[in-house]
Amino acid sequence: MKKIVTFGEIMLRLSPPGWQRFSQASSFEVVYGGGESNVAVSLANYGLPVEFVTRLPKNDLGDCALMELRKRGVGTGHIVRGGERLGIYFLETGAVSRGSKVVYDRAHSAISTIEKGMLDWEEIFADAQWFHWTGITPAISQQAADVCLEAIQVANKMGITVSTDLNYRKNLWQYGKSPAEVMPALVAGCDVILGNEEDAEKHFDIHPAGVDVTQGHSMDAQAYVSVCQQLMARFPRCKKVIVTLRGSISASHNTWSGMLYDGKQMYGAPTYQITHIVDRVGGGDSFMGGLIYGLIAYGQDNQKALEFAVAASCLKHTIFGDANLVTVDEVEKLLAGDASGRVSR
């Protein structure tokens, strides 16, 4: 089977133990993760060949990130080394009515100074069927955006499916360009788009018909169809638009589902009640990993692919860390209705 390639930044995550606040912490728990690397780990757990491409510093922390990827079965053969440092983010995990907090320390990270020509994309994609990137990467720096566009253009030329998770991050766009100036050229090369109404509004000024996304309204299915149709009209190459549906009752209790639009039909999935969240970071990445697996494994069965993605990402909320460490069998068990959590002996 041909491989999946993902491209982006992997970072060092530092978190106070349990649900402590930053001011209480005397130690931090270490996790390595990032949007595209999390997707790669999911796919590796599902048994698909996958390779993560990035730039890592030539130091011990870069080595640790590399070892974490290899431990999870992710290919690392085209990772380049260099740059000043590994990006860091600090996570304070919320509970009940107190939300989580993230503090970034990723300025001048190795990938922010990557340059076009450092990666031989034709060689990387020689045995690939799918390329995935997220809106986080072009938000890091102009250089990262340029290399991402370089990769998309080569993938398009080689007939490789391209997917993106729009992932709007307002705190990252700091290098003088707005998302509206950068993202359209990249998304124009995508066959599959994952996002929500906020992503569409912030990146492309696309609004659901009759709804103001800034007012926190609950939207009906037709409003989501409107967003999907506008995205497809703006980006004609796109064949599928997928929307994740998160209801935040509290930091510890969310509802979770998703929708998929293929230009003709809107598919829906069951809604899960996630009542005791262990770690919600990486929820969207786990959805994307499940979706890519489903679209490859189930062919044209959009319904089954969507339901797999939703179930997989539901399970991610029970796992500490950024990545979704579940198997296909575990996802299919939940899909079959077994949410008992009984001990497997």
Average pLDDT per block of 10 residues along the chain, 345 residues long:
97 96 97 97 98 98 98 98 97 94 94 96 98 97 97 98 94 91 97 91 84 51 86 96 93 94 95 94 96 95 97 97 96 88 66
Residue 26 burial class via C-beta count within 10 angstroms: exposed 0-12, middle 13-18, buried 19 and up: exposed
Q: Which residues of 99-123 are buried (b: 16+ CB within 10 A; e: fewer)?
A: ebeeeeebeebbbbbbeeeebebee
| Predicted pLDDT of residue 210 | 63
| Predicted pLDDT of residue 9 | 98
Beta-strand pair 192-195/161-165: parallel
| Predicted pLDDT of residue 219 | 56
| Predicted pLDDT of residue 213 | 46
- Inter-CA distances, 19 with 13, 154, 278, Å: 15, 44, 10
pTM attached to this predicted model: 0.94
At the second CATH level, the architecture of 3-237+285-295 is: 3-Layer(aba) Sandwich (3.40)
CA atoms of 97 and 142, how far apart (whole Å): 37
CA atoms of 102 and 26, how far apart (whole Å): 18
| Predicted pLDDT of residue 68 | 97
- Please give the full DSSP string across 300-316, using - where no structure is assigned: T-HHHHHHHHHHHHHHH
Residue ranges per domain, the chain? 3-237+285-295
**Amino acid letter, residue 17:** P
Which pair of tokens denotes residue 212?
């103001």
Helical H segments across the chain, by residue range? 35-45, 60-71, 121-124, 136-140, 142-157, 179-187, 197-204, 221-234, 283-297, 302-316, 328-335
